[in-house]
Structure formats: structure tokens, C-alpha cells
Amino acid sequence: METKKRFRKVRRIALAFSLLLGIGAGLGACSSLTSAEKAARAAETARQVAERLDARQYTVCMEYVTPQRMYGHPIGPEYYIRVSGDTLESYLPYFGRAFGPLPYDGGMGLNFTALLDEYQVVRKKKNRTDVSMSVHNDEDRYLYRLEVYDSGEASLYISALKHDFIGFNGYVETDE
């Protein structure tokens, strides 16, 4: 009797294992994109990102913020920076300390449109382009350092004379 129970248990385990193995193989076979298609899609994304950076016509949507004096946290998809030729449009939340005299309402923070003082693009690594932008408004002078990867992912680091450092993570909008 003991042998029959043991046999049934082994048979159940073998059946469960073969079922899981079959499901895993089936999911792998049903994957929507082959590796060649994934590589082609990645190459197309990298091409679109490079074109936008070269033309100075791009929008970077932000998904995550890392303030200097607080924990990082996700933010809504409505926050962005947009570069159009020689103009920077910044619509970003600011969390941190401001130094010096500011308006009673806290000022404009990182919500402004201004002409770029400096703009420099450098391809530092095989899959990353660094963009450095200097801009000023009535309240402060800012340095926007943007790291854009071929995948479209982006990291933005903002330093200012009268505000704490703040960082953002997001992605460059493409046609997809």
C-alpha cells in the first residue's frame, strides 16, 4: 500500500512538472516578437531618438523624481521638458529648498519657457548621448544635464544657483 501512495505522488509531481514545462515552452513559442524583430525595433527607436536630438526637436516625459533632501517617488505623465530649436520649455515639479529672495507664492520653480544660453551634445558612450543646456529666467540660472540612451530612456539632472539639486527619470517621446 505504501508503494502505491509513493508511486501516485511521484506520478503527480512528474505530471505537474511536465505540465509546467509544456506551458513554459508554449509561452516561449507564442512570444509576439522574435529576437530579430526586437533588434529592428530597438534600432528604429535609437534612430528616432538620434534624429530628434540632432534636430533639437524633442520632448522628454518624466516619470520619477529624486529630490536632494527627500526620497524619490513616481510622478504623473504630465511632466516634461521640451526643446524646440533654441527654446527650452520646462514643466516639472520642484521639491526642495530655495535660497535667497523669492516671491511669496514660491515663484515659478521649474515651470517656465526660456531661450537657451548654451546647448551642447556629446556622444560619450556607445549607447548614450549627453545633452547639457544652460538657461536662466527672472529667478535663477539653471544647468539641465540630460542623459539620453538609445532605448529612449532619459535621466535629467538640474542644478541651480538658488535651488537644491533635483533629478528626474523618463523617456524621449517617439512615433511609436
pLDDT tens, 97-134? Answer: 777 766 555 677 889 999 999 999 998 778 899 999 99
Domain that holds residue 10: 1-31
For the chain, the domain total comes to 2
- pLDDT interval class at 24 (50, 70, 90): low
Flag whether the pTM goes above 0.85.
Answer: no
CB 110 within 8 A of CB 96: no
- pLDDT interval class at 11 (50, 70, 90): low
Judged against a pLDDT cut of 70, whether residue 161 lies above it is answered with yes
Separation between Cα atoms, residue 157 and residue 116, nearest integer Å: 16
Whether residue 22 sits in one domain with residue 58: no
Whether residue 56 sits in one domain with residue 126: yes
Judged against a pLDDT cut of 60, whether residue 13 lies above it is answered with yes
Whether residue 51 sits in one domain with residue 5: no
- pLDDT interval class at 140 (50, 70, 90): confident
Judged against a pLDDT cut of 80, whether residue 61 lies above it is answered with yes
Amino acid identity of residue 75, one-letter, is: I
Separation between Cα atoms, residue 156 and residue 166, nearest integer Å: 8
Closest by CA to 95, choosing from 66, 122, 137, is 66
Which residues on neighbouring strands pair with residue 145, listed in sequence order? 132, 157
Separation between Cα atoms, residue 110 and residue 67, nearest integer Å: 13
What pLDDT sits at residue 99? Answer: 77
What pLDDT sits at residue 170? Answer: 94
Whether residue 7 sits in one domain with residue 67: no
Q: What is the CATH number of the domain that holds 49?
A: 2.40.128.410
- pLDDT interval class at 70 (50, 70, 90): confident
Whether residue 163 sits in one domain with residue 131: yes
Region 131-156: what's the mean pLDDT? 92
Whether residue 57 sits in one domain with residue 9: no
Whether residue 118 sits in one domain with residue 93: yes
Whether residue 156 sits in one domain with residue 127: yes
DSSP conformation letters of 104-139: TT---TEEEEEEEEEEEEEEEETTEEEEEEEEE-SS
CB 145 within 8 A of CB 157: yes
pLDDT in tens, 72-83: 889 987 999 999
